[in-house]
């Protein structure tokens, strides 16, 4: 039990440490590529998103790597309007 | 919220409306009934030597910093009963109380003929029975710290006795 | 959005909101520290602080969870919703401090790391009185931290509002976990009937307002019956108040039909910002305005005014014998649709 919890805590810390390293690079360089609204954004904003980047960094890393930008939401009307599948 | 989320919200709260009251009810029904400390626990305290009778007329014996508030609680089974309360609280560890009729001299350890009466700690008021046949004001008490292996104080029981240390 | 992000877009309303929130919180914490030792003179200072912050977080969660359904029931609660995310971040801070105190006080002096000790020192999962209720608190805390960390508009835009909402509906799981945390923790040792009654009434209130709101939403989501041509009848033209909308459920989502300047326009009724109920908004300065955070769209094309970039699907309208009909087949977001003139209205066509 102790070994399991210690391993889980270590893995969580590793994930967080990688996330933090990624977050620093992301808020400096990547964020404006992923989201055009972040171009010229304030320092306060960049610091404010760091906790979230540390938690969700794989998602943003993939998006940055693939050169994708802010997605558009999906709902019934949008699907019907753009897909024409209704 | 979009329609899918509104539907999810409705379903979540249908589940929570059953689960939350159910869990609350179970946890309250299965909650252990631990009674708060009441008079019924007096027997335990008495067995541990705490004096539970209301304080009576008391004398303060001994010299600072180890003075004892001493009350005479009469006789029990032909033995005199004293209530002792360190005032101020005694700070030495593991204090045993011996009675002796001899004068062991300053800093002497309790001798073989000294009688162990019980223990004292902090500012707790404890009941101690003197040896059979000991009269009023006779002999003295040795407060002995078992951990430090030294006599912390000597308290004479005579009405006009001065503690000598 | 296409205006540069800021850490917080401060305005007067947010400043007043936060000031009231912090003042209320300060009053509660000071009051708790004054009052609780009178009720329980033996309470340890560390325990006192732990209980003050834990109970403040639990109470604030009740407030946060009440805002959504209350706004669905009565629009006068909408000002509370405007800055709800700040309340959530403050709540997360209270919970984190409560957890830090508990870790320090109960787990910091052993030979295991405090966070490891928290999860291994009490395996009595089969007991009610000794259940490791800390695990439930830790689970709830993880959800609250995730929510607070993703509360900025950046996350709404980059996760999209439906995904963001799904993530933030985790608060309901956090709430259930925290009721368990309190019921199996504090309530097991503190049997004061006032505390028990408070927790039970709080749960009944939260469940009650959410069930009422869910029932009303379900009623509003009854699909309208389509005519032979697939079009859907909305209402009589006179039933739509000026600068307001009537909402109809068609095409799998709500459509809002707005009346303004003697004309009618129809938009998909979910705001792109946080999926707020656009159909309950008004026309302000000629723009459809979301009742939640004031995001705006042009009624005739569903596009947000420059420099913003949000776009909503639009719909065709028709008048048939004085009644408004809508085609539930949407146009792509931002497509201009000629507004339908209201006969006899100023700005509209003559009857």
DSSP-assigned states of every residue in A13-70: HHHHHHHHHHHHHIIIIIHHHH-GGGTT--HHHHHHHHHHHHHHHHHHHHHHHHT---
Residue B43: is its pLDDT beyond 90? Answer: no
Contact B93, B16 (CB under 8 A): no
Chain C: give the shortest CA distance to residue A50, in Å: 8
Contact C22, C87 (CB under 8 A): no
If interface means Cβ-Cβ distance under 8 Å, which residues of chain C face chain A? Answer: 1-8, 112-113, 115-116, 119-120, 123, 145-146, 148-150, 152, 154-155, 157-158, 160-163, 251-253, 255, 268, 270, 272, 275, 313, 329-333, 335
Residue C218: is its pLDDT beyond 80? Answer: yes
pLDDT of residue B162: 40
Q: C3-7, C199-203, C324-328: which range is least confident on average?
A: C3-7
Instruction: Please identify, among C189, C220, C251, the residue that sits at the C-terminal boundary of a domain.
Output: C220
Mean pLDDT of C339-344: 90
Chains that touch B (3 or more CB pairs under 8 A): A, C
Instruction: Please identify, among C220, C255, C283, the residue that sits at the C-terminal boundary of a domain.
Output: C220
Confidence label for B78 from pLDDT (cuts 50, 70 and 90): confident
pLDDT of residue B38: 55
C144, C174: one domain? yes
pLDDT of residue C351: 42
Q: Can you tell me the ipTM of this complex?
A: 0.93
Distance CA C301, CA C268 (A): 11
* SS3 state of residue C134: helix
Write down the domain spans for chain B: 1-34, 49-156
pLDDT digit string (tens) for A28-64? 999 999 998 898 889 999 999 999 999 999 999 999 9
Residue C247: is its pLDDT beyond 50? Answer: yes
State whether B9 and C129 contact (CB < 8 Å). Answer: no
* Nearby residues of B83 by Cβ (< 8 Å), 6 or more positions away: B51, B53, B55, B56, B58, B70, B71, B73, B125, B126, B127, B128
Confidence label for B157 from pLDDT (cuts 50, 70 and 90): confident
CA B39 to chain centroid? 16
Among candidates B76, B78, B60, B79, which has minimal Cα distance to B68?
B60
Contact C135, C119 (CB under 8 A): yes
Nearest by CB to residue B20, choosing from C161, C166, C207, is C207
Chain B touched by A77 (CB under 8 Å): no
Contact C161, A73 (CB under 8 A): yes
Mean pLDDT of C47-55: 96
Q: Please, is A82 exposed, middle or buried when counting C-beta atoms within 10 Å of its C-beta (0-12, 13-18, 19+)? A: middle
DSSP-assigned states of every residue in C180-248: HHHHHTHHHH---HHHHHHHHHHHHHHHHHHHHHHHHHHHHTPPPPB-TTS-EEEEEGGGSPTT-EEEE
pLDDT of residue B39: 56
Q: How many Cβ atoms from other residues are within 10 Å of residue A34's Cβ?
A: 21
Half-sphere exposure of B66 (CA within 13 A, CB side): 22
Chain B residue numbers with beta carbons less than 8 Å from the beta carbon of C172 are: 12-13, 16
* SS3 state of residue B120: strand
State whether C214 and B10 contact (CB < 8 Å). Answer: yes
C239, C206: one domain? no
Distance CA B78, CA B70 (A): 19
Among candidates A65, A47, A71, B4, which has minimal Cα distance to C157?
A71
Answer whether the bond into residue C135 is a cis peptide, omega within 30°.
no
C260, C138: one domain? no
Nearest by CB to residue C162, choosing from A5, A75, A77, is A75
Higher pLDDT, B110 or C71: C71
Q: Which domain holds residue C75?
A: 12-220
Distance CA B116, CA B112 (A): 10
Tell me the backbone φ, ψ of residue A61, rounded to 5 degrees: -65, -45
pLDDT of residue A85: 41
Mean pLDDT of A63-70: 91
Q: Please, is C250 exposed, middle or buried when counting C-beta atoms within 10 Å of its C-beta (0-12, 13-18, 19+)? A: buried
Is residue C43 one of the residues assigned to a domain? yes
C194, C271: one domain? no
Is residue C346 one of the residues assigned to a domain? no
Nearest by CB to residue C172, choosing from B16, B21, B27, is B16
Instruction: Please identify, among C153, C185, C220, the residue that sits at the C-terminal boundary of a domain.
Output: C220
Distance CA A25, CA A46 (A): 11
Contact C205, B41 (CB under 8 A): no
Class of B49-156 per CATH? Answer: mainly beta
Contact C68, C117 (CB under 8 A): no
State whether B20 and C203 contact (CB < 8 Å). Answer: yes
Confidence label for B91 from pLDDT (cuts 50, 70 and 90): confident
C192, C245: one domain? no
Size (chain B), residues: 165
pLDDT digit string (tens) for C62-76? 999 999 999 999 999
Domain count, chain C: 2
Mean pLDDT of C32-57: 93
Please report which helix (H) or strand (E) contains residue B66, including its range. Answer: none
Q: A13-27, A32-46, B149-163, C157-171: which range is least confident on average?
A: B149-163
Residue C264: is its pLDDT beyond 80? Answer: yes
Chain B residue numbers with beta carbons less than 8 Å from the beta carbon of C203 are: 20-21, 24
Distance CA C254, CA C277 (A): 9
- Buried (b) or exposed (e) across A35-60, using 16+ Cβ within 10 A? bebbeebeeebbebbbbbbbbbbeeb
pLDDT digit string (tens) for C96-124? 999 999 999 999 988 899 999 999 999 88
C66, C92: one domain? yes
Chain C residue numbers with beta carbons less than 8 Å from the beta carbon of A38 are: 4-5, 154
DSSP assigned state of B164: -
Mean pLDDT of C287-306: 95
C63, C199: one domain? yes
Q: What is the mean pLDDT of chain C?
A: 93
Q: Which residue of B has its CA nearest to C278?
A: B1
Mean pLDDT of C211-237: 92
State whether C188 and B31 contact (CB < 8 Å). Answer: yes
Write down the pTM of the prediction: 0.78
Strand order in the sheet with B90-100: B115-122, B90-100, B140-145, B150-156
Residue B131: is its pLDDT beyond 50? Answer: yes
**Hey, CA dihedral for C50, C55, C58, C59, is it positive or negative?**
negative
pLDDT of residue C239: 94
Is residue C335 one of the residues assigned to a domain? yes
Q: Quote the strand ranges of C53-121, DSSP E.
A: none
Distance CA C135, CA C177 (A): 9
Residue B163: is its pLDDT beyond 50? Answer: no
Contact B95, B144 (CB under 8 A): yes
pLDDT digit string (tens) for B53-76? 777 888 888 887 888 898 888 888
Q: What's the maximum distance between 2 C-alpha atoms anywhere in chain C?
A: 86
Q: B34-48, C141-155, C250-264: which range is least confident on average?
A: B34-48
Tell me the backbone φ, ψ of residue B35, rounded to 5 degrees: -70, 145
Is residue C7 one of the residues assigned to a domain? no
DSSP assigned state of B146: T
Residue C350: is its pLDDT beyond 60? Answer: no
pLDDT of residue A21: 97
Chain A (14-53) residues lying within 8 Å, Cβ to Cβ, of chain C: 34-42, 44-45, 47-49, 51-52
**Hey, CA dihedral for C144, C149, C152, C158, is it positive or negative?**
negative
C131, C278: one domain? no
Question: What would the 3-class secondary structure string for C151-186 be?
Answer: CCHHHHHHHCHHHHHHHHCHHHHHHHHHHHHHHHCH
User: What's C270's domain CATH number?
Assistant: 2.102.10.10
């Amino acid at each position: 039990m102790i070994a399991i919890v210690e391993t889980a805590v270590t893995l969580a810390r590793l994930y967080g440490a990688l996330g933090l390293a990624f977050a620093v690079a992301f808020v400096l360089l990547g964020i404006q590529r992923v989201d055009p609204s972040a171009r010229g954004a304030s320092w306060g904003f960049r610091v404010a998103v760091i906790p979230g980047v540390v938690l969700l960094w794989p998602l943003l890393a993939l998006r940055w790597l693939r050169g994708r930008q802010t997605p558009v939401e999906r709902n019934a009307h949008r699907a019907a309007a753009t897909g024409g599948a209704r | 919220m979009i329609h899918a989320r509104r539907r999810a919200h409705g379903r979540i709260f249908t589940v929570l409306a059953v689960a939350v009251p159910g869990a609350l009810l179970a946890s309250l029904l299965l909650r252990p009934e631990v009674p708060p400390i009441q008079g019924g626990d007096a027997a335990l305290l008495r067995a541990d030597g705490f004096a539970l009778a209301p304080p009576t007329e008391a004398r303060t014996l001994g010299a600072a910093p180890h003075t004892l508030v001493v009350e005479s609680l009469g006789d029990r089974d032909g033995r005199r009963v004293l209530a002792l309360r360190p005032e101020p609280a005694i700070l030495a560890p593991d204090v045993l109380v011996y009675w002796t009729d001899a004068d062991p001299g300053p800093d002497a350890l309790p001798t073989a003929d000294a009688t162990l009466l019980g223990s004292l700690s902090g500012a707790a008021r404890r009941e101690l029975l003197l040896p059979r046949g000991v009269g009023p004001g006779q002999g003295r008490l040795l407060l002995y710290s078992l951990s430090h292996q030294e006599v912390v104080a000597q308290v004479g029981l005579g009405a006009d006795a001065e503690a000598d240390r | 959005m296409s205006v540069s992000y800021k850490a917080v877009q401060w305005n007067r309303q947010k400043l007043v909101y936060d000031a009231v929130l912090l003042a209320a919180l300060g009053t509660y914490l000071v009051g708790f520290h004054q009052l609780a030792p009178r009720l329980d003179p033996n309470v340890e200072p560390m325990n006192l602080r732990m209980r003050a912050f834990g109970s403040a977080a639990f109470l604030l969660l009740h407030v946060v969870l009440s805002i959504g359904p209350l706004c669905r029931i009565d629009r006068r609660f909408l000002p509370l919703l405007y800055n709800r995310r700040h309340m959530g971040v403050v709540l997360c801070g209270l919970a984190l401090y409560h957890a830090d105190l508990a870790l320090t006080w109960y787990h910091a002096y052993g030979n295991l790391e405090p966070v490891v000790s928290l999860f291994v020192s009490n395996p009595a999962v089969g007991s009610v009185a000794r259940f490791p209720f800390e695990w439930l608190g830790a689970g709830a805390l993880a959800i609250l931290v995730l929510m607070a960390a993703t509360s900025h508009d950046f996350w709404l835009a980059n996760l999209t509002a439906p995904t963001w909402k799904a993530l933030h509906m985790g608060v309901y799981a956090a709430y259930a976990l925290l009721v368990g945390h309190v019921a199996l923790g504090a309530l097991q040792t503190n049997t004061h009937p006032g505390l028990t009654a408070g927790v039970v009434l709080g749960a009944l209130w939260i469940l009650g307002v959410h069930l009422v709101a869910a029932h009303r939403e379900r009623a509003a989501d009854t699909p309208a019956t389509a005519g032979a041509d697939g079009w859907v009848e909305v209402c009589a033209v006179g039933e739509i108040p000026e600068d307001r909308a009537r909402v109809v459920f068609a095409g799998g989502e709500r459509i809002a039909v707005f009346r303004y300047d003697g004309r009618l326009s129809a938009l998909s009724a979910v705001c792109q910002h946080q999926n707020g109920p656009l159909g309950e908004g008004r026309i302000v300065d000629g723009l459809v305005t979301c009742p939640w955070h004031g995001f705006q769209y042009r009624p005739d094309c569903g596009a947000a005014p420059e420099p913003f970039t949000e776009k909503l699907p639009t719909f065709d309208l028709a008048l048939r014998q004085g009644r408004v009909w809508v085609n539930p087949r949407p146009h792509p977001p931002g497509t201009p649709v000629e507004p339908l003139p209201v006969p006899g209205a100023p700005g509209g066509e003559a009857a």
